[in-house]
């Protein structure tokens, strides 16, 4: 079946450093969504990408959808302690939304 893998599994950074998480699908996706889950909380929707090669920005967050629509990335510039949490991608092919395994980000002040 379809798989959506994320790397790295964990990332510890110093506040102010950049952070990137990568999402790879075994199949072509019609769209990809990104969610953030704070420790002890529930996933919260961040953004959806639909077009091949699409790049979207939200303040310090940059989201990219690959040209082949099989991979995506989330880049955070100058991390802050409020960025702590687990970031999930969720890929949609023709069946249903499949969540990646997540990248847990820890930011040290």
> Which of 43, 49, 71, 79 touches other proteins (CB under 8 A)?
43
Q: How far is the CB of 106 from other proteins (least distance, A)?
A: 16
3-state secondary structure of 57: strand
Answer for the pair 2, 100: CB distance below 8 angstroms, yes or no: no
Total count of residues recorded for the chain: 109
Contact between 42 and other proteins by CB under 8 A: the answer reads yes
Stretch of 12-20, 52-60, 70-78, 90-98 lying at the interface with other proteins (CB under 8 A): 90-98
Q: In terms of C-beta density within 10 A (0-12 exposed, 13-18 middle, 19 or more buried), how is residue 46 classed?
A: middle
Residues at the site binding other proteins, with contacts judged by CB under 8 A:
1, 6, 9, 30-31, 33, 41-45, 48, 88, 90, 92, 96-102
């Amino acid at each position: 079946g379809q798989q959506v893998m994320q790397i790295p599994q964990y990332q510890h950074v110093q506040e102010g450093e950049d952070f990137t998480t990568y999402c790879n699908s075994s199949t072509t996706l019609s769209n990809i969504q990104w969610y953030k889950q704070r420790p002890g909380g529930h996933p919260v929707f961040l953004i959806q990408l639909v077009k091949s090669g699409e790049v979207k920005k939200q303040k310090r967050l940059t989201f990219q959808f690959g040209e082949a629509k099989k991979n995506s990335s989330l880049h955070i510039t100058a991390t802050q302690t409020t960025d702590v949490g687990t970031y999930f991608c969720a890929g949609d092919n023709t069946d249903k939304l499949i969540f990646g395994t997540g990248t847990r980000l820890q930011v040290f002040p």
